[in-house]
């Protein structure tokens, strides 16, 4: 299996507990646009057949060369040809996880104001880090607000891609223009939009080049 890489731009986070018909209606539009990656959030309904759902999402995205990343549940990479794993916090046994998965995959992690997480990601050659939360957010309410200074320091520590997440929308994204970053992670700004394709295009216009 050829290893996908993560590009700069828009990193979309989707909620698998959404009504499936609505989720796929939106995904049908989204995958036609330029997307760096799609992360499936670890918010599952008990009765859900997550393997079946992930395969359907993967097939749709991979046909458009968009990597699919699972949030936290790395063991699913052993069963399904997903492209990567996003950790919400430092995993206890990353080297063991790599051995168990036994193939190349994209690795990312959520960062806050602790430089030690950025250093960990660099040491273990993670592909990207995602800072959360840049602004107050309903979907990122467990994240502390990130100091812009921390993001600036990250470029001197970390050699992979840097994404910014949490509360970012079309009205405040330009406040990030002073920062050196590679892309933004978005949830409701795209998934709640009546026209996700139009919103993606507008985000692309506003992301710092």
pLDDT tens-digit series, residues 93-124: 999 999 999 999 999 999 999 999 999 999 99
Write down the pLDDT at residue 209: 56
What pTM was computed for the model?
0.94
Residues 28, 33: Cα–Cα separation, whole Å: 10
Alpha-carbon span 49 to 93, nearest angstrom: 27
The per-residue pLDDT for 119 is: 98
The answer to whether 13 and 186 are in contact (CB under 8 A) is yes
Closest CA to 106 of 77, 65, 133: 77
CA distance 59 to 66: 10
Q: Which stretches in the chain have pLDDT values below 50?
A: 1
Q: How many CA within 13 A on the CB side of residue 90? A: 13
The pairing of strands 37-40 and 106-111 is unpaired
Asked if 101 contacts 78 with a C-beta cutoff of 8 angstroms, the reply is yes
Rounded distance, CA 201 to CA 207, Å? 10
- Is the dihedral angle over the CA atoms 18, 24, 28, 34 positive or is it negative? positive
């Amino acid at each position: 299996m050829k290893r996908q890489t993560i590009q700069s731009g828009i990193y979309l986070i989707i909620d698998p507990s959404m009504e499936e018909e609505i989720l796929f209606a939106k995904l049908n539009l989204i995958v036609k646009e330029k997307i760096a990656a799609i992360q499936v959030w670890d918010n599952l309904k008990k009765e859900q057949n997550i393997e079946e759902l992930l395969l359907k999402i993967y097939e749709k995205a991979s046909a458009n060369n968009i990597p699919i990343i699972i949030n936290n549940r790395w063991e699913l990479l052993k069963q399904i040809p997903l492209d990567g794993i996003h950790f919400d916090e430092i995993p206890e046994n990353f080297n063991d996880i790599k051995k168990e998965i036994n193939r190349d995959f994209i690795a990312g992690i959520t960062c806050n104001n602790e430089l030690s997480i950025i250093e960990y990601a660099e040491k273990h050659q993670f592909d990207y880090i995602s800072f959360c939360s840049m602004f107050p957010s309903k979907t990122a309410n467990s994240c502390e607000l990130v100091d812009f200074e921390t993001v600036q320091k990250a470029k001197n520590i970390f050699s992979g891609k840097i994404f910014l997440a949490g509360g970012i929308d079309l009205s405040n994204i330009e406040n990030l223009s002073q920062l050196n970053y590679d892309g933004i992670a978005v949830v409701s700004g795209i998934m709640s939009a009546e026209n996700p394709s139009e919103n993606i295009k507008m985000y692309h216009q506003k992301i710092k080049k």
